[in-house]
Structures are given as structure tokens and as C-alpha cells.
Amino acid sequence: MQLTKAVVGLALSGLICAASAETIGSVDTAFKLIGPDHKVIVEVFDDPKVGGVSCYLSRAKTGGLKGAVGLAEDTSDSSVACRQVGPLSFPGKVPRQEEVFSERSSIFFKHVRVVRMVDPKRNALVYLVYSDRLIDGSPKNSVTAVPVPANQPIPLK
């Protein structure tokens, strides 16, 4: 019983810490007679550990009947652009590499992930978007960087 509570607690704490995306808009890419059209959606999320940074994520969303009922597997096509949208702040130390966003892109074992990496030599935050699957992921990816002013060193863990 206690093990179950611990697992549920860890799962919930992971959900609370994860960034959630807000949909900005979408465009249709292919007409589907039954169910929603295939789309490219644009979402935004704020970096959960770096104040003043927002990341814009575009990704394919499969439509049709399978897409309507949640059984479709989205393609691995995605792009990320992170920008400084306010004063940069670091409430705590930042790991050299950390997943800042994850969302399911199929009913089983496929996710779109965004990882933040720190480039201390250039004082920059680098964001990488990719998709993975339990057995085989995709090499399709996109990268962006947010420069941090030289007088504001990034506090590393």
C-alpha cells in the first residue's frame, strides 16, 4: 500500500513540475472526410525554471477517425523557438541538461520532448525538440538558443 502511494506521489509531483502548453493556433494541412483534418499546431510554454523564457512549439497533429478518438500516432515533425519575453531570472540552480516539456504523440510510448541544455562557455540556454518511442525514436529535431547577458551568469547545479 505504501509503495503504491509513493509511486502515485512521484507521478503527481512529476506532473506538477512539468510545463504545460497553451495552444496559440493551428492550420489544416490535409482534408479528412471523416474526423478532423491533419494539422500543424502551435503551442507555447514557459520554461519552468527560467523566468522570462517562453518556447513556441509547432508540431504535426494527425486527424481522421483515428485522430478523433485518440488512436493516431502523430508524425515526428516538430520545431521549437524559445525567446526571452521578460527579464531573465533563475530562482534556483539549473542542471546542465533537463527535460522541460513532454507530451504524448501517440496512445502508446511516443512523446514529443523539449530539453534545455546550458552552454556555460557562451552563457546561453539551448533548447532541443525531438520525439522518442520505446523501441525506435526519430532523428528529426529542431534547436534554438536564448543568449543570457554576460553580466548574468547561469547558476549551474
CA distances from 76 to 60, 73, 117, 142, 149 (A): 7, 9, 21, 11, 33
User: Could you report the per-residue pLDDT of 124-156, keeping only the tens digit for each?
Assistant: 999 999 988 666 667 889 999 999 999 999 999
What's the pLDDT at 25? Answer: 93
pTM of the predicted protein model: 0.78
Q: What's the confidence (pLDDT) of residue 74? A: 67
